[in-house]
Every structure is written in C-alpha cells, then in structure tokens.
Chain A
C-alpha cells in the first residue's frame, strides 16, 4: 500500500495525468501486490495515456499553462540553455531547432525519430542543456526501434533527476520489462529503472531488486547487484533491506554475479565482514573465473577480510624487524637486514621453534587461488594480487609478485606511475624482493619526469653494499640530464645512498664535491644542500670540504645553497677558524642584498663566531646585527634583537645568556634522509589513499592482524542444505557410521575441491579434459624443480614450509608412534580382506606364479610403465615438452646415465631402449584401464578378470593381499631408481587408520645387487587439504627381494597427485601418486528405491548424461558390470530391469554420493548417467567409464 501511496503523491503536474488511471490502478492494487503489476490492465493505462496526453503535456509545458512547477522549470531551463549557448558561442536560433527536433520526435517515422535522438544525444555529449525536450523524448520510451529506445534511455537517465515528475511516466514501461520472458530485457529494464534517480520510486526499485535477486538468470541477478549501490546512493535508509539482498546474492554460485555483488557489498556495507564468512571459500574458488574487474574488487575485499581472520604469517620475523629498527643510523639497520635476509631460513627455524606458526588452510587457499592471477593481462588485477601477497603472504613467498610488477613497467606511463609508487613502498619493507630486477628500474631519457623521479626512488631504496657501485655509476649518467628537476632528485638520491651505506659515504661526498664545480647553478645548489647534510655526520674529517665550500660562496647565487654553506661554516667554525671570520666579513658587506633565509643564516653565523672567536668578529657581528635591526622583514628584526640579547652580555640580560654557547653550539643530530615512502604501507597498497598518502573518502582501513585467530569454523559451509539433509537421511537409512561423522574439516576440504566454473567447462569440452588430471604433473615438476616459492604453494596444511626441520622431526616422531600403532592395526583389515577374498588358495597360487617369473611380468608391463616414468623424468628435468626428436635424445642421455653409476644394469637395458624408442606420446595421467574387482563379484568373475589383468605381479606376497587383480602403476622405474623399482596400486580396501584415506599399496623390488636400507618417505608435498599417512620405514630390503607396504592418502576428492620423496639410505627419488577418479570412491549398498530417491535429488547440474555405443564385446550385462566396477570402485545396485545397470558409491573424503546408471538399448546403443554432487568428479567419471565401455 505504502508503495503505491508514495508513488501517487505525485507533484502537481504529474498528478493530472495519472489521475485518470488512478482508480484503475487502485482497483487492481486491492487484489494484487503493492507493486504496479504490469498486467494487461496496466498496459492499457499506459498505452491509453501515451499518444494523446503526452502531447498535451508537452504543449502545456512549453506553453506554460500546464501546472506552475513544470512550466516555470521549463522556462528556467530555457533561459539557462540560452546562457549556456551564448557562452559556447554557438547558434542563435537554438529554440527553433528544438521545435524542429520535437516535431521529428512526434513523427511516425522511426528514421526521423532516430535522427532527432542522435542530435539530442550529441548535444548531451557536448554538455549542452537539452532538458526542455524531456516530454517529447520520454514518450518514445516504448518505441519499437531498439536504437531509438536505447538513445531515449541514455537521455532519460541523464535528465530524470531534473524532471522527476515527468520521468515517472516512463516507469511502467520498465516495470513491464521486468516481467519479460527474455532475461536480457528484464536485465536492461532493471538497469535503466535503477539508474533513474527519482526518490519517489525507491520502493518500486527496492521491490524490483528483490525480485531480480532471485531471478533464474544469473545475468539478471548480476544486474540486481549493480542496482544495489544505485539505490543506496539514492536513499541510504534502505540499507538494512539492501544488506539482506546482498547477503542473498553473496551466496550465489555463479561467476557472473560474484564480482558485482562484492562491489555492492563494498559500497553499501563494507563493515559487515561477517557476511563474507560463509562465502569466503566459494569466492576464493570462483575467483579465477570472475571477469577481471570483479576480480579486482573481490581481491581487495578479501585482503581486508583475511587481515581480520587470520594470524600474521610473519609474526616471528616482524619481531625481529622491530629489533633492527631500533638502531639509529640506516646503515647499521641495513646490515642487520641484510644478514637477516641471508640467515632468514635459519632464523625462521629458530623462531619457529620458539613459537610455531600454523597457517590457516583458508589463508593458504586464498594465497594459492590468487597466485595465477598475477598472469592477468589486466594491470589492476595484477596489482590487486600483488598487494594481497604483500599484506598477507609469508615473507618467503612475497617474492613472486616482483616479476609481475616489473612486467607492468612495460605498460602505459600512467600504469607505470601507479606501479612505481607501490613498488617504492614495497622496496622499503622488502628490499630483497626487487633486487634481481634492479636494472628494470634504470631510467631512460625519454621517461616523463614523474616516472624518472619514482624510478630514482626505487633505485635508492634498493641500494646496498653490493650494488651501490653500479647504482652510483648509473646516477652519474643521470646527473648530466637536461631535465634539471630530475638532476636535483638524483643528487638527493646520492645523498641518501651515502647516508645509508657507510662504505660509499666518502665516494659520494667526493662525487658531490665535484659537482660543486658544475656550471649549472641548480645542480651546485642541490649538491651543497646534500653535502651539508652529509657533513653533519662526520664534520671532523671534512674540514677541507668545508673550506672548499666557503670559497664557493662567492659564486653560488641560489639562496638555499648560500644559506646551507653559511650554516655549515657557522656550525663548524672551529674546524675552519681562519676562514670563517673572513666569510662573515664578505657576508656583512652583501647583507642587504641577500634573500631572507640567507640573512637569517648570516645572523646565525655571526652569533656563533662571536661566541667562539669574539676577538676577531665582535665588530662584524655588531655591524650585522645593526643591519638586521632595520631590515624590512620582521623575522629578521626579531632574530637580531633576540640574538643580541642572548650573546652580548649586558646588565639587563637574564640568566639565559650564560647558556648562549650551549644554545648555539649544541651538538645537533644529523638529519636522517628518509624516503617519502616510508611507512606508507599502513595504507592498503594499490589504493587511491596509498597513492595520495592521505585517506580518501570511503577508504576502508586495513586492519591489523588479530592477536589470536577468530574461530575458523565460521567459514564452514553446510553442504548445500538439501544434500546435507539427504546425507543425513541416507546415513540413518544405511546406518553406516563412518561417514556421517564428517568433521568440519572434512566439509571444508570438500568445498575446496570444488572446481571453479571454468575447469568444469574444460571437463566438458573434449580435448582439454585432461587438464584437470594433468595438473598434478605440474605440481610434480614444481616440487622437483625445488623452487622455494612454487614448492611452498603446494605445501601441506599442517606446517608452513618455512618452519623447518625441527618441527618436522617432532612430527616424524609422532608419526613413528602412530605407525607402530598402525602396524598393530593393520592386521585387522588384512584378515577382513582375506575373508572377503574369493579363495585364499587362489591367492597362494598366484604368489607362487609371480615368484617364479617376476622378470617376465615385468617386461610385460614395461611399455606402459615406461611411458609414465619417462614422462615424469623428462618433466622433472625440465618442465617443458620439446619436440619428439629432442625428447628422444634426452631420453637416450638419461638412459646412458644410470650405467655410468655403480649400480649394475644387465642386458635387459637394451630391451628397454627398444621400448623407449617406440614411444611417441607421453601422458602423465595413467589411463584407467584397471581390472579391479568388488567384493561382491563372483569368484568366476575374478578368474575372468585375471586373464585381462596386465600386472598381477604387483600383488603383494606379504600379509596384505587385495581381493583381486588390480591395476598397478609405476612409481619408480628400475633404471631411474638405480635398481630399486617401486609400483603401487589402489587396493580398494578401507584404510583402517583413517577412513578418509585411500589405501595405496606399494611394492618395492630391489633389483640391484646390494641391499637397500631405510626405505622411507620424506618431504611430502600436497595440495592443501590433502593428507598422507606414510608407510612404516622398511629397514632392510635385501638384493633381489620384494616387499610391500601400505600407505593412506586423503586426496580430498581430487585427482591432484601426492608428491613426495622416496628415500633410501643413499638416494632420494621424487615420486608422485595420482589416483584415477574411480579410486576416489568406495562402494555403498543402496536398494533400488533408495537409489531412485537419491538420484531424484541430484538432478540438474549434478547430472551428466552421455550417449554411447557399447563395444562389441561389451554388450551383456555381465561385462558392463565388470567394466564399470573396474573403472570405478562402486558397488552394484540391484535392479528390476535388465536393461539398466546401476551402481552406487561415495567419495572417500567427503562422502558425496556417486550414482551411475547405464541403460542399454538396441544394437549397442546405451546411455550413461552419472549423478554426483561434485561436478568435477562426475565429469571425470563419465569420461573414464565411457572409455571403459567403448573400448
């Protein structure tokens, strides 16, 4: 009701028009919502109104007979326009022209209307007033022609604020648009409606926004997000309601909306950081796929968020830094800092021992997900990430941003300007970061002055003992520049280098003294000023320079320089006792002609000389003081009077004169030449406030790190409600206790694994499917290359990489204890598994077989395994894929290496080389042609499978025996392992120490002639959230023997590889284990009804359907079941129809349901449906099963 009433309280002239329809609307309103629902009736009132009444309105408006307000306003406007146009010096006959335009707008021809609108918009663009055309224009708002309509919108938005009452006439058109079935029309209607700044329609806007916020189309929701700040600026009282809408939109899962809603959040309620908690992880994960402008806003907001929620990762170092800053002179501080850099690692380690810091996995998530954006083409995005790293990352990781920022220096000069400002601030805190890029800051003579000065600033900040000589040489060229402001800045920079670096102080001083003979007066003057500052540090040593400068006084005219020299002579008159009175004599002569600052210094000089050497200078001093007494400047007169009282003892003079000497000749501390960028980093970098070094309106302070981290569980997101309740229901039904108790941490992980949008689409588009599965090899190569930064990117969540060995050792100890327990525990599952086995005897047989011919099976699997290991090794050597020929060469080289080492390799090597050369393709991801078996498979099936199995040789002879033949993957090849070959397979057994882990069975074979000792794992590098349970150390593996061990890996439901080092007593090998997606789940039992129910809940995005033609050999139910269960660890769901095979499982970590249906039709046609809440898993699974069924 209120809405309508407000709307209907129209200004005088609009009421007249609306009156006719008022009753109609009200009638409608009684039975409908309070909005102007644009139903049929509505349209008619508008339509009825449009042609006739508007024309009345227009003529009335210009005739002045129509309502006082409107007419008056129009007249005023016309006057204004006239004034404006006269000012612009343009047309005299403008009013006529406007009539002209009005006529065109009234015509029926679209082309005429368009022409008129174009001319009007051109007027608007030039800043001419076209407001008197408003009535004529506004009635075209419903015009059919899109271009006319758009131009009308442009006009409307521009003038609606001035002509509020008339603007209201257009509202109903937009309201109708809001209901249009086409999302783009809905969006554009909302966009224009919300842009009209008329307070009276605030309630309508509010309703429109609320409605649009729950629109089906993400594009409309995005528009709604855009409309929020518009409404807020129009009426801040709506804040509470708007926050509700923002909260709702923040929960949106599409990339399209994310950027816009965060922008709205920042404008309306940046203080409501609590709204972010639940969406934090989602925003982090979506970030890479959000459009670039949205990325900037989100990253800046998340920086602030992280500052309130996480602990300072540099807490230990910052303590240290503070210690360093206490020393007074910069130079010492530098040394400290430098040492600090060198011994950083060691120090971190010691500090960590004192107070271990553990990074919140969410903090890590943010850092990891923003890092790729450093590669963005958009400078603003790069800068946003850079500031995020600067403010949030551990010191050791900040370095990555330097390269990207240096890249921006190639961009437009405005970009350079902003980037350099930020770099300048960064170099003060983190100098080491930019040191390698020193030369990128060298100055070109064609740079704009402001860029030059900023580069100079950076160079100065970067200067240290090692590079100062190059920097000074560079400065020497700058001094000769034609740009005198720049030269002056260079001289100051030299001065700062000299004060900061003790070693070069004398060199710099000499250089500056040489500059004193420069022909350019500005240069000399600047040098004098800087020398003065430098001399203050050690005046004793440099009396000759002071003498030299005393001579200069005759030539230098720049007042500041003259004043500086005089001050120096006065201050150190004892070092130059002969010259100083003479200088005073000269100055006394020229006193009246000097500038004020020089005069003041002359008085000072006189006073000081009088105190030290009154015999020679008494008269001169009196003379000077007398001159000063009658000076025009009152400052000088005051000073003279004051000094006379102070230094000349008279009866009247007070007690102060006794201390005159102390007053004047007190030891003055040398000035500290500081960078103007010091401490600027209390502003968030990259912000306008930072650039201006002043708080800009609307700037949100970057909060300090909290002392103790707030509760991280606030960010836990309940699994999408429906699914969650569903889960609960399932668990009550099946009463399997293990995965019902998923801890908060698990849920968190689950969130993390959720892939951003783009990667989903990757999964769908054929050729790039491998992108996901291959990403692990990148991690592999990263960790192999050992670069600190990338390595730490994938570090484990428990310990920050920086925090070093001691901690790890402790952990290892713990781990060992655990392992012992595990050993004990291990027996249990073994027994279970054995009982599950079809027959133990069979197993026994197989063992024998394997023992008898291990070699043979080895060579059988060779080609496949070789592929993997080779690709791994070539990637570890260099993360590039070169041309085939080159790769082959390399392989040969790699081949020739091992024999050179003492490990004995026999004739089999040749065989291998053959197979190597056959390779023409390498795929890091192991293809999932697996032949595993589920516990429920019949024993006959198992025997069937054995025939297909590539490598039953993997099966362990030891205690643990999997139920059936399993596909094994090579972890370490015999040759790269120098005799040690390692294979692994997914045993599909529950891993008893931790139910969330996938059991991986590892088989070690020692093919070397010597024994291998102390086989164990080290240096596990994982994606965050992933965990590993290491296998117990194998103390001795005699030559020729084989042994197995089991480890558990929590892959967090992703196919990311687990990278670690396999260590023997002599060597370390980098290896990685990557699971096929089918191994990330475990079978569960569902009834047919349950299955259908669950499937019903996982429709839409969670369902992936693919048509396929079954392989000729694979057309009976039996083989389908076999192949599906081979590809994925699922169990079969009983089913009434024989045309359908159903399978069910849950992912290991998050217990998300995975449902697979294969429906067969005639002639091998079939349809595969996968329902899984995790779309990435679903997509990959479809791919794998498809492959299994069609081959």
Chain B
C-alpha cells in the first residue's frame, strides 16, 4: 500500500521522509514539485499524479504537502483519508501541524508514523491507542523528562489494541465526570446577486467531550430526529439502534471526538440569518470601481449574530481600496488581493455598511466578474434547523456525570454572488 511518505513545505523543501518498505529516493518528488510549480495555487495541484514507476498521492494541509508514494493499485481515497488522519493526529498531539512544530518533535512524529502504518497498511489510527503508546508532549512532561530521564514512550504495553472497542482507553478515571456535547450547524448557501437563495442546506456536527470514568454506555436521543436526513457516525455509535429507534447509543472514546455529522433534510426551508445588499462595480473609464456592502439581520430567531466577517477575493487588477466601514474594520492584502471586513456583532438597529472606492490598475481591462463575498458568522445557543437533544442517559456506571449540551450555528460555505 503506502510505500513512503514525504513532508514538503510550500516552498518545495522536503523536510521529512519515512519509508515503510525499501527506501525510495526522494528524487521521486521532483515530478510532484514540477507540477506544483506550474499550478498557480497549491490547492490546484492534483491529488493523484502518475510517474513512470510510482503513483504520488498527496494532500495539502496547513501549508504542508503530505506526499505518499504508491507502487500498486490502491483506492486513492484510502490513502487520502489516511494522510488526513496523520495530519489530524499531529494536530491532536502538538496543537498545530506546521513545519516548525514537526521539526521540533521529529522523533515523536517518527514514532507515530511507525506505529500508524505497518508495511504500508494502517495499523493503529485511533488517537486513544496512540496516546497510550506514545504520550503527547507537554511542557510539564518535557521538563520532568529532562530531570528524570524518563521518556515519552509509554512503559506500559498498549492494551487498547486488543480491545473490542479500540477507541476507548481502558481504566479511565476522573474525579469530575462530565460529558459535553456541542451541536454545531453550518449553513451552506449560495445567494445570487439579488439576494435570492440559489442553494442552501444545513450540515451539522455533534462534537463531544467526555471525561467519564470506567466504561460508561451513553444514550443520546433527540426531540426531532426526523430532521436528520443523512448521518455519519463515529465508529462507536451502534448503527442498529439508530436504525430502529433513532437514538445514539455508544460507549464514548475518552476526550474529544466527533460523535456524528448530519445533513438536515432538504424539505426543510433553510433560514438565512442575514441579508446582504451589495453593489460592486467597475467603471469603464477612469480605472476605478465602487464598492458598497450592507449586512442586516434576516431570520435570526431573536438571537445575536456574532463573529460576522466578509471576505472578498478581489480581481487581480484591483490595486488598492479606499473604504470606510460604519462598524468593525477592514484589511486589504495587496499580495493576495483579499479584502477582509471584520464586523463583529451585528447591530440590528444599524446594519453595518462598508463603502468606498477601488482603484484599478490603469490600462488593465475592466474586471469581467464581480468578486463573490464569503460570509462568516456565528449564532450562539441556536441550532438553526431546530434540532434539539432530548436527553442523555448513562448506563453501566454508578456515578452521576455532569452533562451539558451547547448549540451553535455558523456559516459554512456561505457565498453571495455579485
């Protein structure tokens, strides 16, 4: 399966290599680097490349390329999914997944890679098992380690690999037992020029954080599970139970995990929380343009809209902007031509407005397309689909855990065409 892995930064330096079978020269990356040079954006590098003797499958995460070398037929998604899992693990261990942090923890990274794959086939990918074998570095531990000479590698044998529920550590103990669930919904929408909804849907995810002793068996039920159209679960969820009763029954992993993701059925109309009035125009003469954006509340269910942010990818010809914002402030990155307007809380009485002029490179043709606006927003304490958790029950353990459910609505891929 996966033969070798190379980590490449965005400038094209290979800073880590790992081979699970015999060594493959890093020269194989040249094919990839060539394609990468040609592509304008790093995202545009095709994830699968063919070279005379190998296939290269890569992902782009956090400004790093994870490039794997394959020699024989393998489902490409298998590799891609695995590479993302590797990146997730790094993120989980080190808090971020950047070149410098990987270089700083190169030994841990190497140990992780060694455990995650055996002969190119995934071996241990559950973070709970990995953490049992290789402890994540913390400042405290590194201090202790240097003083006592003890190590990051767990000295107990990782029994998690043997269990039927590999996602949970054995013998978990907490003084405070708690289980928190965040229901986060994202609105994906495309609005057209006139503010009409071209396409809108709600995608939700339930993030859980459980710190429960022993082997608790949880049951989470919804008031209105009918809303859920399409779901995908963490492996711990018993699918049969969901099929028959529409409740989530599971023995949770320890710590943070994504319990489920769901899609709200398309019959339900999606409430769009804000309206956007915009006018972006470029004049035929005089090499300048005009921009005017107003955002106001639409269907917010009486909640405050926060974290409002508008991102505009300006045409390449726009040299600079001269705008005034009635609320919040804006930045314009000259190199990437991205205009970001950070509004903050939405004031329903006085809808925030951004207006001013754009100066266009003289001589360049008038930009054909008006740039689309990407909107980010957050609404606390509201699941826009109306999904409600009914109750959470715990079996299998005696103590009473502290339980909590939080709702949040965010803008997902929320785009306004202009």
Tell me the A residues contacting B by CB distance below 8 Å.
Answer: 109-111, 114, 118, 121-122, 124-127, 145-147, 150-151, 153-154, 158, 161, 182-185, 191, 194-195, 197, 217-219, 223, 226-227, 229-230, 233, 255-256, 260, 263, 288-289, 291-293, 296, 300, 372, 375-380, 382-384, 403-404, 406-407, 410, 412-415, 417-419, 436, 439-440, 442, 444-446, 448-450, 474, 477, 480-482, 519-520, 686-689, 691-692, 694, 696-700, 757-759, 761-762, 765-768, 771-772, 774-779, 781-782, 878-883, 886
| B240 adjacent to A778 (CB under 8 Å) | yes
| A375 adjacent to B234 (CB under 8 Å) | no
Query: Chain A residues with Cβ under 8 A from B201's Cβ?
Result: 440
Query: Chain A residues with Cβ under 8 A from B125's Cβ?
Result: 292-293
Whether A111 contacts B149 in the complex (CB less than 8 A), given A384-B75, A775-B244, comes out as: yes
Given A125-B107, A191-B118, A195-B118, 14 further pairs, Cβ under 8 A: A300-B75, A376-B233, A404-B230, A415-B81, A418-B47, A444-B415, A448-B43, A481-B369, A482-B368, A482-B369, A692-B50, A766-B217, A778-B245, A878-B226
Query: Chain B residues with Cβ under 8 A from A260's Cβ?
Result: 121
Q: Is B14 an interface residue (CB 8 A)?
A: yes
Whether A883 contacts B50 in the complex (CB less than 8 A), given A379-B80, A687-B75, A689-B73, comes out as: no
Which residues of B, 119-173, contact A by the 8 Å Cβ criterion? 119, 121-123, 125, 149, 151-155, 157-159, 161-162, 164-166
| A758 adjacent to B238 (CB under 8 Å) | yes
| A230 adjacent to B119 (CB under 8 Å) | yes
| B157 adjacent to A184 (CB under 8 Å) | yes
| B232 adjacent to A377 (CB under 8 Å) | yes
| B246 adjacent to A879 (CB under 8 Å) | yes
Q: List 12 A-B contacts (CB under 8 A).
A: A109-B149, A125-B107, A161-B23, A194-B119, A292-B235, A293-B121, A444-B372, A449-B44, A482-B371, A696-B72, A766-B396, A771-B244
Query: Chain A residues with Cβ under 8 A from B16's Cβ?
Result: 125-126
Q: Is B290 an interface residue (CB 8 A)?
A: no
For B369-403 the 0/1 string (1 means CB < 8 A from A) is: 11110100000000000000010010110000000
| A775 adjacent to B243 (CB under 8 Å) | yes
Q: Is B70 an interface residue (CB 8 A)?
A: yes
Q: Is B413 an interface residue (CB 8 A)?
A: yes
Whether A375 contacts B232 in the complex (CB less than 8 A), given A439-B199, A688-B70, comes out as: yes
Query: Chain A residues with Cβ under 8 A from B36's Cβ?
Result: none
Report the nearest A residue to B263, measured CB to CB: A407
Q: Is B344 an interface residue (CB 8 A)?
A: no
Q: Is B71 an interface residue (CB 8 A)?
A: yes
Q: Is B221 an interface residue (CB 8 A)?
A: yes
Report the Cα distance A886→B18, complex, angstroms. Answer: 58
Interface centre among A233, A372, A375 (most CB of B within 10 A): A375
Report the Cα distance A229→B117, complex, angstroms. Answer: 14
Q: Is B41 an interface residue (CB 8 A)?
A: yes
Report the Cα distance A692→B369, complex, angstroms. Answer: 33
Which residues of B, 22-53, contact A by the 8 Å Cβ criterion? 22-23, 26, 41, 43-44, 46-48, 50
Q: Is B345 an interface residue (CB 8 A)?
A: no
Query: Chain B residues with Cβ under 8 A from A146's Cβ?
Result: 151, 153-155
Report the Cα distance A480→B316, complex, angstroms. Answer: 15
| A688 adjacent to B48 (CB under 8 Å) | yes
| B217 adjacent to A765 (CB under 8 Å) | yes
| B82 adjacent to A293 (CB under 8 Å) | yes
Report the Cα distance A441→B199, complex, angstroms. Answer: 10
Query: Chain B residues with Cβ under 8 A from A263's Cβ?
Result: 1, 121
Whether A125 contacts B44 in the complex (CB less than 8 A), given A114-B151, A288-B239, A774-B244, comes out as: no
| A407 adjacent to B230 (CB under 8 Å) | yes
Query: Chain B residues with Cβ under 8 A from A520's Cβ?
Result: 368
Report the nearest A residue to B229, measured CB to CB: A403
Report the Cα distance A227→B1, complex, angstroms. Answer: 13
Q: How many A-B residue pairs have CB under 8 A?
A: 306
| A688 adjacent to B76 (CB under 8 Å) | yes
Query: Chain B residues with Cβ under 8 A from A145's Cβ?
Result: 151
Q: What bracket does the count of chain B residues touching chain A fall in? A: 35 or more
Whether A410 contacts B203 in the complex (CB less than 8 A), given A444-B413, A696-B55, comes out as: yes
Query: Chain A residues with Cβ under 8 A from B119's Cβ?
Result: 194-195, 226-227, 229-230
Report the Cα distance A127→B8, complex, angstroms. Answer: 13
| B238 adjacent to A762 (CB under 8 Å) | yes
| B230 adjacent to A110 (CB under 8 Å) | no
| B17 adjacent to A125 (CB under 8 Å) | yes
Tell me the B residues contacting A by CB distance below 8 Å.
Answer: 1, 14-19, 21-23, 26, 41, 43-44, 46-48, 50, 55, 58-61, 70-78, 80-82, 84, 106-107, 109-111, 114, 118-119, 121-123, 125, 149, 151-155, 157-159, 161-162, 164-166, 188, 190, 192, 198-199, 201, 203, 215, 217, 219, 221-226, 229-235, 238-241, 243-247, 249, 251, 258, 261, 263, 266, 313, 315-316, 365, 367-372, 374, 390, 393, 395-396, 413, 415, 417
Least CB distance from B72 to A in Å reads 3
Contact among A219, A519, A886 with B162 in the assembled complex (CB-CB below 8 Å): A219
Least CB distance from A872 to B in Å reads 12
| A378 adjacent to B81 (CB under 8 Å) | yes
Whether A154 contacts B153 in the complex (CB less than 8 A), given A375-B239, A442-B190, comes out as: no
Query: Chain A residues with Cβ under 8 A from B75's Cβ?
Result: 296, 300, 380, 383-384, 686-688
| B110 adjacent to A687 (CB under 8 Å) | no
Report the nearest A residue to B146, measured CB to CB: A111
Query: Chain A residues with Cβ under 8 A from B155's Cβ?
Result: 146
| A446 adjacent to B44 (CB under 8 Å) | no
Query: Chain B residues with Cβ under 8 A from A182's Cβ?
Result: 157
Query: Chain A residues with Cβ under 8 A from B247's Cβ?
Result: 881
Query: Chain B residues with Cβ under 8 A from A442's Cβ?
Result: 190, 198-199
Whether A150 contacts B153 in the complex (CB less than 8 A), given A125-B18, A688-B76, comes out as: yes
| A768 adjacent to B238 (CB under 8 Å) | yes
Interface centre among A692, A774, A880 (most CB of B within 10 A): A880
Query: Chain B residues with Cβ under 8 A from A158's Cβ?
Result: 19, 23
Query: Chain A residues with Cβ under 8 A from B22's Cβ?
Result: 161, 197
Query: Chain B residues with Cβ under 8 A from A418's Cβ?
Result: 47-48, 76-77, 80
Report the nearest B residue to A780, measured CB to CB: B244
| B239 adjacent to A372 (CB under 8 Å) | yes
Contact among A114, A197, A380, A446 with B78 in the assembled complex (CB-CB below 8 Å): A380
Report the Cα distance A118→B151, complex, angstroms. Answer: 11
Whether A127 contacts B80 in the complex (CB less than 8 A), given A376-B232, A481-B369, comes out as: no
Query: Chain A residues with Cβ under 8 A from B151's Cβ?
Result: 114, 145-147
| A880 adjacent to B246 (CB under 8 Å) | yes
| B123 adjacent to A226 (CB under 8 Å) | yes
| A477 adjacent to B417 (CB under 8 Å) | yes
Report the Cα distance A382→B80, complex, angstroms. Answer: 13
Report the Cα distance A474→B198, complex, angstroms. Answer: 9
Report the Cα distance A1172→B37, complex, angstroms. Answer: 66
| A154 adjacent to B73 (CB under 8 Å) | no
Report the nearest B residue to A109, measured CB to CB: B149
Report the Cα distance A768→B295, complex, angstroms. Answer: 49
Query: Chain B residues with Cβ under 8 A from A109's Cβ?
Result: 149
Least CB distance from B156 to A in Å reads 9
Query: Chain B residues with Cβ under 8 A from A122's Cβ?
Result: 106-107, 110
Query: Chain A residues with Cβ under 8 A from B82's Cβ?
Result: 293, 380
Least CB distance from A52 to B in Å reads 26
Report the Cα distance A255→B222, complex, angstroms. Answer: 31
Query: Chain A residues with Cβ under 8 A from B231's Cβ?
Result: 375
Least CB distance from A389 to B in Å reads 15
| A412 adjacent to B369 (CB under 8 Å) | no
| A446 adjacent to B415 (CB under 8 Å) | yes
